[in-house]
Structure 1
Amino acid sequence: MKGVLLVNLGSPDSTNPKDVKKYLDEFLMDERVIDVPYWLRSFLVRGIILNTRPKKSAAAYQKIWWEEGSPLIVLSERLQSKVQEKTDLPVALAMRYGNPSLKSGLQELYDKGVKDVLMIPLYPQFAMATTETIVVLAEELRKEFFSDMKITDIPAFYNKPEYVKALSNSIKDYLSDKDYDHIMFSYHGVPERHIRKSDITKSHCKIDGSCCNTPSKAHEFCYRHQCFQTTKNVIKELGLNEENVTTTFQSRLGVDPWLQPYTDRTLVKKAEKDGIKKLAIVTPAFVSDCLETLEEIAMEGKEEFLEAGGEEFYTVPCINDNDEWVDVLAGWINNFKNN
């Protein structure tokens, strides 16, 4: 019997600092998130970060928390429900960190008799800290608890025409009645070393401004290339003027170099130096709105832009449970069902 597992990033169970600390511990102790030796990762996370960050993060979550719970969880559940209506295969939901856990999602399908799983990591672009960590953990769980289960995962879908069209239409629909001068595509940042580690050629990725535009097998697992290509895909689909579009990266952590240009600094530059007054911002690394979109961009980013001289700031919602996106997922699932 076949079944489907949708997997998103995750969220704390509540805005209580204790729950936030527990979530951050699981998240930041992942060797594919902070990719340093265990002793150093433990020192950084449990010796420093978890002694200061949980209260700050809890306050940020409180700003965006809904009555129903975490926006990311609620939106993921809505997506699951809508997708389930489009297929007769059982569709379960799991989070890489927090609840519902990846193990519980697989167990739910297994208890229904599912032995052939289509796993869909809800990340358009591949990254060590997103798609890869899900695939690796799922295989570990399969070997330990579900040895007679087969798991097939959908790879990064940033280039799939049906996804590009759904994303583009959601942007167009939201901005149809908005007056703006510039569009910024803000992607979650990763350390530059992640890009080099993911380079299967071990030689292509130079992060020098040209390698992402030079065809290579490395692009299959290059987060930086896939982000820039996502922007290009939308520009082409919507017929946008490239001069009015910028790609940036947000949420850097620590002192190591991360992907640039940085979103926060670019927001200030656009207002102060480039004279942009009305800016729209899109966050295509995320399928569901979450802390990084609702608080970091829609609140903090807006404040930074307006304080620097901007006048209008529009945050385009993620595709969430958009009907066209639901149809895209249902199409992939039904292809799996029939093959």
Structure 2
Amino acid sequence: MNLKPQKTLILVNLGGPRTTDEIEVFLMDLFTDPFVFDLPLPEFLRMPLARFIAKKRTPKVRKTYESMGFGGGSPLVSETEKQAKTLERILNQTTNIDWTIKIAMTCGYPHIRDPEFGKPNPNTIYLPLYPQYSRSTVLSTLHHLEKKFKECPVGSGGYIPTFASDPKFHQISAKFIYEFFTGGLNPKDFLHFPKNNPNTDWKNLDLVFSAHGVPMRLIHKGDQYMKEIESSVFGITTELRKLGFLGNIHISYQSKVGPAKWTEPSSLTMIESLAKEGKSIAVYPISFVSDHLETLEEIGEQFKDLAIQSGAKTFIRVPAFGTYLPFMEYLSKKVLVADAEIRRCICQEMGGESISTCRFK
């Protein structure tokens, strides 16, 4: 008989289509989310427009996914499953608790609204896999959970907050980048890992921290995302300097959709400018913890082609964490403290808006 206490950890990510057949469903979930597709329109106009855009983009997006070599879908779900298995092993080995780790997505499958994902509490803990807070990711996740359980998860003991400003996260990130350039990572643990030595003169690279962009409309609503990105980069840069990095650091934003003004500078503009100066460029995906479309295709192919064609001396894509053991161990420690000590509305503080059922109002 197993007398150990039992707990469930649910890793939450944005999601991605696992197959070609799921692309339209994924896009529909994405564009109908009011925290992602945030437009100054009443719902009876916003929702039909969102569905129209999702349908219209499906054929183009299908071609992009087909070119990635993962059977017409995204590897994000399967990569998150690998992270779940790793965390489950670590937690079961290091605690006297019987842990079950599941994954849930806010777009596509397995969807966070599915019945198998229970109410956040000290025994059912949600960990959004976003280092930085944003309305389009974290607040969206909290809204999904509130809609499902009629209660904001923050302060329930079942929610793990973002960690962009944590010095330990900065140290692990710097160590990861260092080990990538100095041969300390196992290529088999990563997708599309470079076959040759990434760059022998890594200390003098121009290192671009590329984050997923968000519309400036969200920033104007109080989203602290850009500040979170800057905090992450500052802390990681400080640690990289201790490891001998001497090169220039840049922050940019990728994946812009539509004509509205988004966070700047654009990663495309940044990389083209550096390439024209003949720089050796490396790009690190600061806002992602697992590789998928934006890292493998956008950074690894589109950015690389632009850089080489524009005159870059070299270009290298640094992978996302994946199952990098120091990061997985770091997350396991975050799980054990959860959010029981939170006594304030972090949604208002970080996203500019309280969820209606906030327990701290």
Range of TM-score over shorter length:
0.7 to 0.9
Distance 2:72 2:60 in 1: 22
Name the structure where helix makes up a greater proportion of residues: 1
Q: TM-score normalised to the size of structure 2?
A: 0.78
Corresponding residue of 1:182: 206
Aligned ranges 1:1-339 → 2 under 5 Å: 2-16=7-21, 19-36=22-39, 37=41, 38-47=43-52, 49-66=53-70, 70-87=74-91, 88-104=98-114, 107=116, 116-143=123-150, 152-176=158-182, 178=199, 179-180=201-202, 181-197=205-221, 199=222, 221-239=223-241, 244-272=248-276, 274-276=277-279, 278-336=280-338
Distance 1:50 1:2 in 2: 37
User: Structure 1 residues 108 and 257, CA, compared in 2 at 3 Å: closer, same or farther?
Assistant: closer
SS of 1:102's equivalent? coil
SS of 2:20's equivalent? coil
Cα shift readout 1:259-317 (whole Å, capped 9, x = no counterpart): 10000111111111x331x2110001011111111111101110111111113211011
User: Structure 1 residues 336 and 2, CA, compared in 2 at 3 Å: closer, same or farther?
Assistant: farther
Corresponding residue of 1:209: none
Contact 1:3/1:109, CA 8 A, preserved across alignment: no
Distance 1:115 1:327 in 2: 20
> What is the letter of the counterpart of residue 25 of structure 1?
M
RMSD: 2.8
Q: Which runs of 5+ in 1 are unaligned?
A: 200-220
Contact 2:16/2:73, CA 8 A, preserved across alignment: no
Distance 1:95 1:164 in 2: 26
Query: How much has 1:143 moved relative to structure 2?
Result: 3.0
Contact 2:35/2:140, CA 8 A, preserved across alignment: yes
SS of 2:164's equivalent? coil
Distance 1:23 1:132 in 2: 19
Distance 1:225 1:29 in 2: 27
Distance 2:292 2:313 in 1: 25
User: Structure 1 residues 68 and 167, CA, compared in 2 at 3 Å: closer, same or farther?
Assistant: farther
Contact 2:74/2:293, CA 8 A, preserved across alignment: no
Cα shift readout 1:67-95 (whole Å, capped 9, x = no counterpart): 69631111100100010012232222111
Query: How much has 1:13 moved relative to structure 2?
Result: 3.1
> What is the letter of the counterpart of residue 101 of structure 1?
H
User: Structure 1 residues 46 and 140, CA, compared in 2 at 3 Å: closer, same or farther?
Assistant: closer
Q: Which runs of 5+ in 2 are unaligned?
A: 1-5, 92-97, 183-196, 342-361
Alignment length (residue pairs): 307
Contact 2:132/2:163, CA 8 A, preserved across alignment: yes
Contact 1:120/1:154, CA 8 A, preserved across alignment: yes
> What is the letter of the counterpart of residue 95 of structure 1?
M
Query: How much has 1:3 moved relative to structure 2?
Result: 2.5
Distance 1:13 1:153 in 2: 26
Query: How much has 1:256 moved relative to structure 2?
Result: 1.3
Contact 1:90/1:109, CA 8 A, preserved across alignment: no
Percent identity of paired positions between Structure 1 and Structure 2: 27
User: Structure 1 residues 338 and 22, CA, compared in 2 at 3 Å: closer, same or farther?
Assistant: closer
User: Structure 1 residues 4 and 303, CA, compared in 2 at 3 Å: closer, same or farther?
Assistant: same
Query: How much has 1:45 moved relative to structure 2?
Result: 2.7
Distance 2:20 2:37 in 1: 23
Contact 2:158/2:338, CA 8 A, preserved across alignment: no
